[in-house]
Amino acid sequence: MRATAEIKMKKKGNTQMKKTLALLLAVLMVVSLFAGCAAKQEPAQTEEPAADTQQTGEPAAAEEPAAEEVTEEPVEEPKELSGEVNVYIASSEDFALACKESFEADYPGVTLNYVLLGGGEILTRLRAEKENPQADALMGGSVDLYMNASKDGLLMPYVPDFVRETFDPACIPADESYVIGLKSILGICYDKDWYDANGVAYPETWDDLLIPELEGNVIITNPGTSTTGYMMMSSLIALRGEEAGMQYMVDLNKNIKSYAKGGSGPVNSVSLGECAAGMCYLHFGIQLQEQGYTNIGLCVPTEGTGVEECCSAVINNCKNPENGKAFQDWYLSKGLALYEQFGYYNYPCNPEVHVNETAEQYLPLLKDAGIDYQWAADNYDRLVEEWDAKISNN
C-alpha cells in the first residue's frame, strides 16, 4: 500500500512538474515574442547631453532663435530731371555763365536760364510776381533780402540733407526758407595811381571817402537796387546810429560821381580809372588784382564794416520746383567751390570748400560792424525811401 501510494505520489509529482515546466515554457515564449517585436521597432531618439555639460558641468548655452528673414524695400532710383530751371542771380555776368555751364554738365537734361539783377531788384520782382512766379530759384544777395522775401511768403522751405549735416546750424533759419552759403567782407576800393598822382593818403576809414579832394570821383551802389549798397548803409547805421549813419550817406553824396546798379560796378570803374574810389566786397577787388589790375587798392575800414551773408533759395509756388531744388543742391556744394575756381575769394560756409589764402589775409583786419540783420530787413523799405528822398533833395 505504501509502495502504491509512493508511486501515486511520484506520478502526481511528475505531473505537477510537467505542468510547471509547461508554464515556464509558455512564459518564455511570450517574453521572446515581445522581445522580437521590440527589436523590430526604431529605437527612441534621446537627446545627448551637450558637450559643455559633459566636460565642464556647466549648462550648455541656449541656442539663439533664428533671425527673421528681412525683406528689403526696393530703393528708388533718383528721377532724371528734365526741362528748365530759371534763376535770378545777383552776381556778375561771367560768374552766372560759369554757373550755367557747370550746372548743365551735372544735369544734362535741364537748361539753366538766368536773369542778372541786383538784390533789391530781385526782391521787387519776387513781390510783383508772387501770384505767378517767373523764376524757380535765386542766388546771391545778402541775408536781409531773403528775410524780407521769407516774411512775404515768397520762398519755399527747403534745406538739402548734406547742409543739415555739415553746415553751421546758424546758416539755416528757423523756417528753413533759405541757406546762408558764403560770407563776404565789405571794404573800400581805390585807384592807387590816382592817389599817388594827387598826393592823397590811401583810405583807411569810411570818413576817408568824404574828403573834398574826392568830389565827383566816388562810385558806390544804390541801396535801393543793390544789397551791396544797402549793406554799406546798414554798416554805417550799426556803427554810428540811424541818424548819424543816414547823415553820412547824405554827406557822401557830395562826392558821388554815379550810383552803380550792381555790387561789382564800383570796383570795375576803379580798375579802369573811371573814378578814384568806391566800395565793394573784397573778393571782387582781389579777382581784378589777379587779372592784372595792379592799380587797385583794397582796405577793411578800421572802425568796422559789414559782413555779407550771401544766400540762396527756392521760390515758393515756382513752375519747376524739383529743378529749383536741384539748383539749390548744386549751388551749396559745387557752386560754392566754383567761386574760388573763378577767382571770387569769398568765405564759404560749406566746410568742405577751400578758403583761398589771399582772402584769409583780410580776416585779421576785420572788425564786424555788428549789423542786426533782422532789424535791417524789417526797416528796409523805410530806410531806402528815406535815403532816396534825402539824396533826391541834395
Angle between helices 119-128 and 143-151 (to 10 degrees): 10
Whether residue 87 is contained in a domain is answered as yes
Domain edge (last residue) among 306, 331, 363: 306
Q: Mean pLDDT, to the nearest integer, of 367-384? A: 94
123-130 LR contacts (CB < 8 Å, sep 24+):
123/148, 123/149, 125/88, 126/88, 126/152, 126/154, 126/315, 127/152, 127/154, 130/154
Residue-wise DSSP of 125-183: HHHHTTTS-S-SEEEEEEHHHHHHHHHTT-EE----HHHHHHS-GGGS-TT-S-EEEEE
Residues 302 and 344 in one domain: no
Q: 250 or 2, which is more confident?
A: 250
| Residues spanned by the domain of 297 | 184-306
Contact 121, 135 (CB under 8 A): no
Distance CA 299, CA 190 (A): 9
Q: Is the pLDDT of residue 119 over 60?
A: yes
Residues 253 and 196 in one domain: yes
Full-model pTM: 0.69
DSSP state of 305: B
Q: Mean pLDDT, to the nearest integer, of 254-269? A: 94
Ramachandran assignment for 292, one of left (phi > 0), alpha (psi -120 to 50 degrees), beta (any other) = left
300: domain CATH number?
Answer: 3.40.190.10
Look-up of cell digits 595811381: 193
Q: What is the pLDDT of residue 49?
A: 37
Residues 233 and 196 in one domain: yes
Residues 301 and 326 in one domain: no
**Separation in Å, CA 271 to CA 205, 284, 295:** 20, 11, 7
DSSP state of 332: I
- Between strands 277-281 and 137-142, the pairing is unpaired
At 76, the pLDDT band (50, 70, 90 cuts) reads very low
- Quote the cell numbers at residue 137: 530759384
Q: What is the pLDDT of residue 79?
A: 63
Per-residue pLDDT tens digits for 92-113: 898 999 999 999 999 999 999 9
Distance CA 255, CA 277 (A): 10
Distance CA 21, CA 14 (A): 10
Whether residue 248 is contained in a domain is answered as yes
What phi and psi values does residue 262 have, to the nearest 5 degrees?
-115, 165
Distance CA 30, CA 206 (A): 125
Whether residue 351 is contained in a domain is answered as yes
Whether residue 74 is contained in a domain is answered as no
Residues 203 and 177 in one domain: no
Per-residue pLDDT tens digits for 16-75: 444 444 444 444 444 344 444 344 444 344 344 333 433 434 434 444 444 445 444 443
Does residue 310 sit in helix, strand or coil? strand
Strands (E), the chain: 83-90, 110-116, 137-142, 155-156, 179-191, 218-221, 256-260, 277-281, 296-299, 307-315, 347-348
Q: 19 or 288, which is more confident?
A: 288
Whether residue 53 is contained in a domain is answered as no
Residues 213 and 296 in one domain: yes
Residues 194 and 266 in one domain: yes
Return mean pLDDT, the chain. Answer: 84
Contact 114, 86 (CB under 8 A): yes
Task: Give the amino acid at 102.
Answer: S
Q: What is the pLDDT of residue 392?
A: 72
At 91, the pLDDT band (50, 70, 90 cuts) reads confident
Q: Is the pLDDT of residue 372 over 60?
A: yes
Task: Give the amino acid at 368.
Answer: D
Q: Is the pLDDT of residue 274 over 90?
A: yes
Least confident of 8-17, 154-163, 201-210, 263-272: 8-17
Distance of CA 41 to the CA centre of its chain: 76
Residues 191 and 201 in one domain: yes
Residues 108 and 248 in one domain: no
> Total structural domains in the chain?
2
Residues 168 and 191 in one domain: no
Residues 161 and 188 in one domain: no
At 394, the pLDDT band (50, 70, 90 cuts) reads low
Residues 140 and 151 in one domain: yes
Whether residue 159 is contained in a domain is answered as yes
Nearest alpha-carbon partner for 299 in 143, 195, 387, 227: 195
Whether residue 255 is contained in a domain is answered as yes
Whether residue 16 is contained in a domain is answered as no
120-123 LR contacts (CB < 8 Å, sep 24+):
120/145, 120/222, 120/223, 120/224, 120/225, 120/226, 120/227, 120/229, 120/230, 120/384, 121/225, 121/261, 122/88, 122/90, 123/148, 123/149
Q: Is the pLDDT of residue 84 over 50?
A: yes
